[in-house]
Amino acid sequence: MAKKKRLFPGIGAKCTILTRFMKPNGGLSKEKDHRSIVVLKEFFYEGHRLCFRFNLDGDDQQKIYHSNARYVRIDSEGGIDDFFFEADKKKRHDGDAIDKAEAIMSKKKEPAIKWKHSRARQLLYQDIMDNKVPLDPKDDLSLSLEDIFSMHAEYAEYDFGLFHGRLKSLRKTICAMNTRSEIDRRAYENYVSSHPVSLYSHGGYIQWQGSAAQKLLEEDIKNELHDLQRTRVPAARVSSKANLKVRFFLMAMHFLKCYPTERQREATFQYCPSWSRRKIWFWINRIAALQSEKIFWPKDNFGNDIWAITVDGVHCWIQEPTHQEFSKDTSYFSHKYNHAGLCYELGISIGSNRLVWMNGPFPAGKSDLKIFNEDGLKAMLIAKKKMCIADGGYAGSDHIHHCSMPNIHDSRPVRRFKARALKRHEKFNGLIKNFHSVDCRFRHSIGKFKSVFEAICVICQYQIETDKPLYHVLVEDVLLEDEVEEWLTSNKVAGRLGCEQD
């Protein structure tokens, strides 16, 4: 429906008013909803309130009444030269332009493709990035909203009345992304200045003598972490000699890795299911208790690094929890499995092979962003004055200074650094999912799932410290400023290899 034309007050304009608001009201109707048709004569101010004087339409005596202007509804205008205000005269003289604008602004049915995903929004974004449309509207006052709307035919498919808000929102989004990109650039430069570039492959094996793995083992032996009979973690200590057989430990590891049923386990180990069950959970709980020694925030608080960790949520499939009223509890729904699930929040150090943050379990229906904001990690980063790198699931403007995400406004080095850091995190997630107990539907209780998942994370921490280290984020390829340099480098390497083969 077309927008109703605005009418302006002036001498001779016919209006409608509730009779009870007319003054003086002697002799007039006292009914609550009675209305009178009046003709305006002049205006005046009562304090700061605009008021009109008028007489009843068709009244031969021309008795003058008055009322507050807000109670008067204009039904028809007088002559343009009789308007009370000069500004209104100018607006009416420009009536053709107003009618044209109102025709453009009339509500219309928009295409099935929403504005957010439309070609029109892409064109508007590109025009802002190319400075054809100023990012700050004050930079070019000569460019009106109608001029911008007429730049592309694709805009005409969408409602002009919503165009101003959409343009303002897009400008705000670009400003926020530019700010975030600048913060991430400084964090990237800080990391590059504090860490050497790795020149060797992470997958190559080295000699045991003098290796980092040997030093870590010597440190663990010195701290008595190798012996669960003398460990400093009370919950991990094995005090009974009846449980010290290596066979029971291997049964627990087999359970985590293969997650057999009790009948399958009985056939493999030749033990009574009820008896072996106690041994398995005994060792799983002891391994999980080692997390206080293996998974912790470093004492040096990552030195001078701004980017400290990568963070991501890991979903695991569980049996459907019971609900008091419904057959299914939607708070546990996992979009990754399309079934009930639990989620753990993991944080991995960017500069070292260490899992430093583990938080959970949470119902899988709770988003990664909500867990980050409400359950401790955001508060930890604020307290430690550090930032994390996360994927697009953590997008939100309220933590721009604590969480970096993929940003198309980043330079190539920053973009590549973030991508490698997030892929590195996914590699650790892959180590966890190598254990069938968390890769398939978990058949036990949520309490036992916590023990299993945390025990697996402790085992994976041992793995990345010894024979399966995570690759380095900062390599020479990251430092290349543009794709041309990357192409030249790759061709030089190819040419050098060709010469060697010849």
Computed on alpha carbons and rounded to an integer, the radius of gyration of the chain in Å comes to 36
* Per-residue pLDDT at 145 exceeds 50: yes
Identify which has the larger pLDDT, 499 or 233.
Answer: 233
Task: Work out the average pLDDT over 168-186.
Answer: 90
* Cα–Cα separations (whole angstroms), residue 403 to 345, 386, 388, 395: 14, 9, 5, 9
Q: What confidence category does residue 247 fall into, taking pLDDT thresholds of 50, 70 and 90?
A: confident
Q: Which two tokens stand for residue 154?
A: 């694709």
pLDDT value at residue 212? 72
Contact between 46 and 2 (Cβ < 8 Å): no
pLDDT tens for residues 256-275? Answer: 999 998 888 888 887 887 88
pLDDT value at residue 329? 85
Contact between 216 and 465 (Cβ < 8 Å): yes
* Per-residue pLDDT at 455 exceeds 90: yes
pLDDT tens for residues 384-404? Answer: 999 999 998 888 756 677 888
Share above pLDDT 70 across residues of the chain, in percent, rounded to a whole number: 84
Lowest average pLDDT, out of 3-12, 345-354, 424-433, 439-448, goes to 3-12
Bridge pairing between strands 333-334 and 387-389: unpaired
pLDDT value at residue 15? 92
pLDDT value at residue 244? 62
Share above pLDDT 90 across residues of the chain, in percent, rounded to a whole number: 25
Lowest average pLDDT, out of 155-169, 409-423, 442-456, goes to 155-169
Contact between 228 and 238 (Cβ < 8 Å): yes
Q: Quick one: the chain helix, strand, coil %, rounded to 5?
A: 50, 15, 35
Domain ranges of the chain: 14-101, 113-177, 226-289, 291-479
Task: Work out the average pLDDT over 20-36.
Answer: 82
pLDDT value at residue 418? 93
Instruction: Give CA torsion, residues 405, 406, 411, 416, to 10 deg.
Output: 110
Rounded CA-CA distance 84/9 in Å is 6
* Cα–Cα separations (whole angstroms), residue 228 to 294, 452, 460: 14, 18, 18
Q: How far is CA 453 from the centre of its chain?
A: 26
Q: Which two tokens stand for residue 238?
A: 């094995």
Q: What confidence category does residue 489 fall into, taking pLDDT thresholds of 50, 70 and 90?
A: low
Bridge pairing between strands 387-389 and 307-317: parallel
pLDDT value at residue 221? 59
Contact between 318 and 332 (Cβ < 8 Å): yes
Q: What confidence category does residue 487 fall into, taking pLDDT thresholds of 50, 70 and 90?
A: low
Q: What confidence category does residue 499 fall into, taking pLDDT thresholds of 50, 70 and 90?
A: very low
Identify which has the larger pLDDT, 18 or 214.
Answer: 18
According to DSSP, the residues that pair with 345 across neighbouring strands are 313, 359
Rounded CA-CA distance 340/336 in Å is 10
Identify which has the larger pLDDT, 94 or 497.
Answer: 94
pLDDT value at residue 25? 79
Task: Work out the average pLDDT over 168-176.
Answer: 91
Count CB neighbours of 290 within 10 A. Answer: 22
Contact between 426 and 300 (Cβ < 8 Å): no
* Per-residue pLDDT at 340 exceeds 80: yes
Highest average pLDDT, of 33-42, 141-150, 492-501, comes from 33-42
Q: Taking the model in full, what pTM does it have?
A: 0.61
Mean pLDDT of all residues belonging to the chain: 82
* Per-residue pLDDT at 288 exceeds 50: yes
pLDDT value at residue 122? 92
* Cα–Cα separations (whole angstroms), residue 119 to 110, 115, 154: 13, 8, 7
Q: Is 52 helix (H, G, I), strand (E, B) or coil?
A: strand
pLDDT value at residue 256? 92
